[in-house]
Chains A and B, each alone.
Chain A
Amino acid sequence: MSGRVHTARRHDSALKHVTGQALYVDDLPEPPGTLHAALVLSPVACGRLGKLDFAAAAGSPGVVAVLGAQDIPGRNDVAAGGQGEPLFAVERVEFAGQPLAMVVAGSLDAARAAATHVAIEIEEETPILDIATALARQAWVQAPSTLLRGDPDAAMKAAPHRLSAGFSVGGQEHFYLEGQIALALPGEDGDIVVHTSTQHPTEVQHICARLLGCDFNRVTAVVRRLGGGFGGKESNASWVAGAAAVAASVTGRPVKIRLPREIDMIATGKRHGFDYRYTVGFDDDGRVLALDAVMAADAGWSLDLTPGVVARALTHADNAYWIPHFRAVGYACRTNKQSNTAFRGFGGPQGVVVMEDALDRIAHRLGRDPVELRALNFYAEGRNETPYGQTVDENHLARCWAEVKQGGEFERRRAEVNAFNAAHPVLKRGLGLFPLKFGISFNLPHMNQAGALVHVYTDGSIRLNHGGTEMGQGLFIKVAQVVAEVFKVEVDRIRASATSTAEVPNTSPTAASTGSDLNGWAAWEAANTIRQRMVAFAAEHFDVAESDIEFADGNVRIARPGSNQVLTFGELANLCWMGRVSLSSTGFYKTPKIHWDGAAMRGRPFFYFSFGAAMAEVAIDTLTGESRVLRADLVQDCGSSLNPAIDLGQIEGAFVQGQGWLTCEELWWDAKGRLRTTGPSTYKIPGSRDVPPIFNVKLLANAPSREATIFRSKAVGEPPLLLATAVWTALKDAIAAVGGHKTAVRLDAPATPERILAAIATLKA
């Protein structure tokens, strides 16, 4: 019996991936007459939009239509949450790269060539390009929000020690290898089917319908797989699909839109960069008494998903630490840049860095070991309520910390690193440790729901559909394992089909690490409903008690006194059909226990917390600022993992992605606000050599989730990305070694060679 829960099982598409047979949207056969769309983007960051002259573009070879805001049949708004985010700009342009129109032509090359011939009149204005300017002008996309507990002002005043500091972290391009793409197929009565690379099929459906001015039931969004998402194909995939739907609707022909890498990077949102300023009060032992922090996010030009990102940043500013008096004010700064969006971690990574920076500074101020100081401040019995009122009742912090220190031989290596630093003229090594607590659930309670649809056929094969999308994270195999467990059949008997709004409606995005938590339970419910019917029928049919029916190893055993009768699962399914039993069921799940008051910023937003710990060792070159991660030791809590092989892949991949965010991945806009890092030649994600040569990853053993998660497993998509914070801490440790660890150092992220050299210069000055 293979492929049940808690067993390592390969990604269901692995063989298709390696043989090139896995089909992505761009690989689907194009129906005859398919047209291709190319976007026309604003060349300037800010200004009043004048006339768009389509004449030359419309007359270009192969062009079928040039479409602007006026050609959208329904409402020109692709906002995911709020409103006022047009598909094509009207009256104003707000960032360099904002879509203004699209050219639809017989070939992609013809469309792209014609797109350059749209004459654009814009009365240019001075853009806001950084957080500081936006803060100074009180330019927000939403009002500031405050997470407050106790009396931080009084506590700060009374604290024996105080210190203040500031730093910033940059954004991050998702760099999914498959760019944004959609293929819209018009049908009868104005129906549209959209093959889309999205994490949020339901939002694609809604936004297409909004743009077309039709009912939701006219639009079907279908997703077999994504070539990577990471949050970048949540709201951004919706407007790309919406553009295809508009073009298909207007022309009456199939339309494909595929954003070339450069256009994709220029036109779509990224991870939010943040600026921080904080004051922390602490006692002689280094216990934190109060935190007062300003966390200012670069939202870009519009709201998009920024409210959620800021809320998650605020609710993760405490990270693993008990902070009796707490104030964090989150600003969502409006700049004339791409509208920043979801990215794995969703504000969490930008939240936890505050206390990590503060604790390093406190340690330097008091002459204490920053590793001990962290443990001293951990949440613990009697000190276990988060600033937003949720109790940390399951707490693996101390255990993860001990395991990572022991596995990483912390004491020995600390001594080794110090000895190396004392002896080497230009290279310095550093060690950094990071404890992780990450809240699992969408911050908005209503999003924590999922549906599934399971059919059992009369040969015993099973078809599984649910609202989650497969973007490489192994969701399909995990959920299939859940269904296999319910029926006690080989996982190969289960066929997961493409996610579709026509099969499971009103779904939440596959995001916030919740894919297997939500869809796993929904599929379990659907499968279990069928199983119950099969059991009830079999009990009646064979005249035994329901408790005498046992599913095992692909068979069903009917226990009778003296002799057992064994049927295959398929035989029972066929019997059920003969007995007119429904072998199809939906399943539905909503996460229990959660509630959240967004205005007061209090409640229990998270069903549970995921824990972990990391230790990283780095080396820096004080002449060039070059750095390298030499080793990483990780411990990650996955509860009782549904699939340890898949989870290991998530942990390793997330860590390296986080490492990239904090080190080599730098977004660079020129003085006019034009993004100039627009492809892999200029925007550098980690390569294979950047992975720590010693990379020890452990799933926390014997740690079933205390809450009733699906088979006591825990989410894994995002939390391990935050473990890479240890790399940033280690880099600061290495830099501080230049100054003999006398002072703490400010190191903005991404810690490029240039920033590391600049940080070193502050110590030498």
Chain B
Amino acid sequence: MLNDDPVGLSGVSPMTTLLDWLREHRGLKGTKEGCAEGDCGACTVVLERDGPNGQVRREAVNACIAMLGQVDGLSVRTVEGLRGTDGSAHSVQIAMAEADATQCGFCTPGFVMSAYAFSAGGETADADTIHEALAGNLCRCTGYRPIVDAMTKVAGLAVEPAPSVPARTASAVFDGAFFAPRSLDELLKLRKAHPEAMLLAGGTDLGLLAGHRRQPPKEIIHLAHVPELAAIASDKESITLGAAVTYAQAMPLLVAAYPALRPYLSRLGSRQIRNLGTIGGNVGNASPIGDMPPVLLALEATVTLASVRGTRELPLEDFFTGYRETALAPDEVILSLSMPCLRPGEVFFCDKVSKRRDQDISTVAAGYRLRIEDGRIADVRVGIGGMAATPRRATHVEKALLKEGFAAAAAAIPKDFQPIDDWRGSAAYRLQVAANLLRRLELRIAQPARVLEVEAL
């Protein structure tokens, strides 16, 4: 479905980006290309899909890194599709115009679509929520103040009912190269037959090949429609997330279990990214600067891998074997990730340091799970990212925390990590920050009521 009209496609590659298709094939020029890497939001469109209780979820996504095959069976709404049948502007569009929220106007359609998703979501118009909703959209002209003002006006605006989304239940293959299985069994067979195919969950990384690099993969196996991979399960002991569960879907549960993840996850990518991106994907691509691995390492997460040969579970730290290398066999897929809930006496903290608060890749990211007994650290796990070729546990730091205290732990950072210089920070800075974050941790534990971050002021 595109702007309420059913669309059937042939003669167009499923690896075509949604943006290129909208602009070049459909002539819908309102959606803009600003970066082709999912970071500026000028290409934002809204996906409408079935949600809980028969409701329709409206999710902002970046059309520049979404591939056509991914939106099969979904409903796409663009800036053109917000206008009424009589051509009148939507109330969200009017609010943006009336707030003087446009200058050059090139980013505007993307902002309008993010505002529309925000408005339709029925969220409150507090500053934090608004910034979270806008984190995936960049404006270079206005300084954002009028856009934020417009957001306060669109919150809670009545939104017309969405079209019924055709629910596809059958598996699909497009062009003999884009496989969209609907069962685990089918997926594992496909994986066995096509070990070279790229696994696509949300595509927020893989989509860069199509959008930014213009070299789409030859074969793709799309994981999002496999029920086992989309499953979320939890009990008092643990949480299990299917590998294709998006950040947006996992966030409520994760934040409830580990409250420190709330600000952390809301800084991970942007809503556009979290609406498509998956935690399984973040683990599977094994980037040393992914934000989930450090906290998952601290949380003692395990990863379950599946193949036609069966399943196996291994600790996450054993999954990362080298720079962007993993223990995944050619015929395997990640089935799920599990992590134990906090046990009595356990606390969990996490930190992310980056040049910009929102939607930036971490210079250093860290997760800490501690058990404190009688004011002493009885058990601790520390995962740190951005400091080595893989996200890693800080074993020397952990030992020092158990035996010698925070100062010694900070001094142990260089034993665990030898980072590199790059545009996000020098090696020296990364070492210093990782050490200083242990001082922040100490203060957090000693003075829980004190505000320790500039963002909280």
Contact = CB atoms under 8 A, between A and B. Distances in A.
Interface of A: 10-11, 13-24, 26-27, 109, 112-113, 174-179, 225-230, 260-262, 425-427, 429, 471-474, 619-621, 623-628, 630, 645-646, 648-649, 652-657, 664, 666, 668, 676-677, 679-682, 684-691, 693, 695, 752-754, 757-758
Given A687-B359, A753-B429, 9 more contacts: A17-B97, A19-B93, A20-B28, A22-B105, A425-B450, A472-B102, A680-B34, A681-B35, A688-B134
A619 B440 contact: no
A680 B38 CA distance: 9
B363 interface: yes
A243 to B, nearest CB: 19
Q: Which 8 A-B pairs have the closest CB atoms?
A: A20-B30, A472-B104, A227-B106, A17-B105, A472-B103, A668-B423, A656-B143, A652-B143
B117 to A, nearest CB: 15
Contact of B423 (A178, A682, A690): A682
Given A19-B83, A474-B103, A619-B457, A681 B37 contact: yes
Interface residues of B, number: 83
Nearest to B429: A754
B212 interface: yes
A253 B410 CA distance: 65
A425 B443 contact: yes
B100 A648 contact: yes
Contact of B356 (A112, A652, A677, A686): A686
A688 B135 contact: yes
Interface string B211-245: 01010000000000000000000000000000000
A687 B134 contact: yes
Contact of B80 (A20, A680, A688): A20
B102 A14 contact: yes
Given A18-B102, A228-B106, A652-B145, A684 B360 contact: yes
Contacts, number: 257
Contact of A691 (B31, B109, B145): B145
B353 interface: yes
Given A16-B105, A684-B360, A666 B423 contact: yes
B135 A689 contact: yes
A426 B100 contact: no
Nearest to A675: B423
B358 A687 contact: yes
Most A C-beta atoms less than 10 A away, residue of B29, B31, B94, B361: B29
- Label chain B's interface by main secondary structure: loop
Interface stretch (B192-200, B319-327, B369-377, B431-439): B431-439
A23 B109 CA distance: 12
A177 B34 contact: yes
Given A653-B142, A685-B140, A10 B109 contact: no
A101 B363 CA distance: 37
A653 B143 CA distance: 4
9 contacts: A20-B109, A472-B141, A682-B361, A686-B144, A688-B144, A688-B147, A688-B358, A691-B145, A757-B433
A725 to B, nearest CB: 16
B423 A753 contact: no
A631 to B, nearest CB: 10
B398 interface: no
A20 B212 CA distance: 23
Contacts of A112: 214
B104 A227 contact: yes
B160 interface: no
Contacts of B454: 427, 619-621, 626-628
B31 to A, nearest CB: 7
Contacts of A646: 100
B46 interface: no
B12 to A, nearest CB: 13
A23 B29 contact: yes
Interface string B346-360: 000000010111111
Nearest to B426: A754
Interface string B34-73: 1111111010000000000000000000000000000000
B89 A19 contact: yes
A646 B141 CA distance: 11
B451 interface: yes
A753 B457 contact: no
Most A C-beta atoms less than 10 A away, residue of B141, B357, B363: B141
Contact of A177 (B78, B107, B212): B107
Nearest to A470: B104
B143 A657 contact: yes
B103 A653 contact: yes
Contacts of A689: 131, 134-135, 357-358
Interface in B228-268: none
Most A C-beta atoms less than 10 A away, residue of B37, B355, B436: B355
Nearest to A761: B432
B104 A676 contact: no
Contacts of A625: 429, 433
B143 A426 contact: no
A481 B234 CA distance: 63
Contacts of A666: 355, 423
B27 to A, nearest CB: 9
Contacts of B422: 668, 676
